[in-house]
Amino acid sequence: MPITIQKNSIAFKSFISVQTRFIAPFLSDLYRTSKQWFSDFLFPSYTLQVSKTCNLRCAFCPLWKKYGDEEHTLPKLNDLIQKNSFFKVFPRRKTYNLIGGEPFLNTDLAYILAFLKSEYIKTRVWTNALLPFDAYEKALPYIDETVIYLPSSDSNEFNLITGENGLDKVMETVDFLMDNKKKVALHFPVRLDSIGYLPLVYELAYKKKLPLVIHYSEKENLNSETLSYIHRFFHVQNVTVYISNEVTKKSSILCHALPYPGLDEGWQMYRNLFYETVNRIRRRFGL
């Protein structure tokens, strides 16, 4: 004979009470935690472009031509933070990579970083390290890591690539950041004509006990011998190899290793997440 439960019965009321007081909140917490865990696992970081201008003149880069042009700054990040809408536009991630152009040319950088830190987000700034020290000071307390663009360890070559006789100044900035207890990594973008400097850049990083990020684009058409040489660094301590799969003219901006700036809204944000995830999987398995 089937068991029927009356709506007004004590058993039914107890069931509803247990359900609303314990099971529903438990399931909702479980859902929230696993969703956050899953999202942290798949997408631990996000790349946010905070400046579209630059103080250098890298031969292959279109951005510097816009240096000083105010319409290329990005004031709307401030607005988003003030209107409490930042995370409606950008995803909440454990780490934010802040890139440019040159991020420190955004005069609101300290404010943006302070906001991210107040949200317990790790901040990593990709910089060419060629601004006066006081350009960094306001932002320093809110920076966890800096990644310094080092396209060559040879002064003349550095000058040729960036249009600035600045290698010594970069190394001074490295020391300045380290003196301020900031984590510093060097970043070497590999191009056909710069691959020869990789051993020297590695040696420099090794001597200074700094992590090295090597970055190359699949569009660079490096031959298989060069690729296997670069891939050996997958197994070298303190070295990270990023592979970009850039498909737009942004590929010519080599001072950051993550493929897509996040500020372009819409589907490009998802493309950013997609490529970062693919690169993470490749790095994880040494592909």
Does 253 participate in binding ligand SF4 (rule CB under 6 A)? yes
Number of residues this chain uses to bind ligand SF4 (CB under 6 A): 14
Return the residue of 47, 128, 217, 279 that touches ligand SF4, per CB under 6 A.
128
CA distances from residue 141 to 45, 86, 115, 134 in whole angstroms, order as listed: 20, 21, 12, 13
- CB of residue 130 vs ligand SF4: minimum separation in angstroms? 8
Does 101 participate in binding ligand SF4 (rule CB under 6 A)? yes
Cβ atoms within 10 Å of 204's Cβ, excluding its own: 18
CA distances from residue 244 to 218, 263, 287 in whole angstroms, order as listed: 6, 18, 13
Alpha helices in the chain (DSSP H): 10-18, 24-42, 76-82, 86-89, 109-118, 134-137, 155-162, 167-179, 198-207, 224-231, 267-285
Partners of 47 in beta bridges:
97
Does 63 participate in binding ligand SF4 (rule CB under 6 A)? yes
To the nearest 10°, report the CA torsion of 64, 66, 67, 71.
Answer: -150
Contact 144, 113 (CB under 8 A): no
Contact 63, 54 (CB under 8 A): yes
Stretch that binds ligand SF4, among 60-68, 85-93, 204-212, 216-224 (CB under 6 A): 60-68
Does 259 participate in binding ligand SF4 (rule CB under 6 A)? no
Does 254 participate in binding ligand SF4 (rule CB under 6 A)? yes
Q: Which two tokens stand for residue 215?
A: 């970055």
- Nearest CB to ligand SF4, comparing residues 15 and 60: 60
- CB of residue 100 vs ligand SF4: minimum separation in angstroms? 6
d(CA 101, CA 154): 22
Question: Three-class SS of residue 141?
Answer: helix
- CB of residue 36 vs ligand SF4: minimum separation in angstroms? 33
- CB of residue 60 vs ligand SF4: minimum separation in angstroms? 7
Does 64 participate in binding ligand SF4 (rule CB under 6 A)? yes
- CB of residue 21 vs ligand SF4: minimum separation in angstroms? 56
- Nearest CB to ligand SF4, comparing residues 96 and 189: 189
d(CA 89, CA 265): 8
Does 127 participate in binding ligand SF4 (rule CB under 6 A)? no
Return the residue of 50, 56, 185, 204 that touches ligand SF4, per CB under 6 A.
56
Return the residue of 46, 47, 50, 58 that touches ligand SF4, per CB under 6 A.
58
Return the residue of 86, 96, 136, 149 that touches ligand SF4, per CB under 6 A.
149
Residue ranges that bind ligand SF4, judged by CB under 6 A = 54, 56, 58, 61, 63-64, 100-102, 128, 149, 253-255
